[in-house]
Structure 1
Amino acid sequence: MGSFKQGKSLALHTYSFLTNKIEVSRNFIDRLITKCRSAFASQDFLLYSQSLL
């Protein structure tokens, strides 16, 4: 019975860890899109893309 409880808490821990990871990457992608949009808007896109390389 104890091992079942342990497995359940481990599964919950893994689940919350993964959802946090997904949330972090989503924020990162949102920031990247915003950066690209502002770069397009200011016509500095070539300069910006060169700085990425």
Structure 2
Amino acid sequence: MVDSNFINNTITPGTNIGGGAIGSTGNNSLIHNNTFFNNKGGDMGGAINMGGC
């Protein structure tokens, strides 16, 4: 069994992982999907644009 406290402690609070835009070279370069996965006040994933609209 995995200790959930161990998993949570491995992520630094406030750390921004993978921010910025992904696939912004699509038909619509504007970021229209803002999906945020918050962990201890941090930003994981940031804004994701999968090739525009």
TM-score range, shorter chain: under 0.3
Structure (1/2) with the larger helix percentage: 1
Structure (1/2) with the larger strand percentage: 2
Q: Normalising by the residue count of structure 1, what TM-score does the alignment of the two structures yield? A: 0.24
Tell me which structure has the larger Cα radius of gyration: 1
